[in-house]
C-alpha cells in the first residue's frame, strides 16, 4: 500500500509511486502516475464529527473507491 498502513484510504491496488491526500471532512485525492489515473472523492463527514466510527468507515470506503477505480482503469486498457 502506498501509505504503509494496514488499511489505506488509497486501497490496495494503486502502484508504489502513487500519492495523495485525504481531508478531515471526507475528501480524498489519489494519483497513480503509472496508470495515468486520478481518483477524487468528495464527501462530507462533518455531519457527525464526534463519532469515531464515521471516520473508520469513511477510511474503508475511500480505499474501496480507490480499488474500484484502479480495477476500472485496468479493465479499460
pLDDT, tens digit, 9 for 90 and up, residues 7-56: 788 899 999 999 999 887 778 999 999 999 999 999 876 656 566 666 67
C-alpha cell at 11: 486501497
Lowest mean pLDDT among 41-45, 59-63, 66-70: 41-45
Task: Give how far Cα 76 sits from Cα of 14, 31, 38, 62, Å.
Answer: 16, 17, 15, 21
Strand-strand pairing, 28-32 and 19-22: antiparallel
Q: Where are the alpha helices (DSSP H) in 1-77?
A: 52-75
- pTM summary value: 0.78
Amino acid at each position: 500500500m502506498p501509505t504503509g498502513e494496514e488499511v489505506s484510504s488509497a486501497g490496495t491496488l494503486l502502484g508504489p509511486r502513487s500519492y495523495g491526500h485525504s481531508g478531515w471532512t471526507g475528501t480524498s485525492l489519489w494519483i497513480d502516475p503509472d496508470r495515468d489515473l486520478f481518483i477524487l472523492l468528495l464527501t462530507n463527514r462533518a455531519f457527525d464529527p464526534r463519532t469515531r466510527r464515521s471516520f473508520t468507515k469513511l477510511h474503508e470506503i475511500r480505499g474501496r473507491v480507490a480499488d474500484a477505480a484502479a480495477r476500472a482503469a485496468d479493465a479499460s486498457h
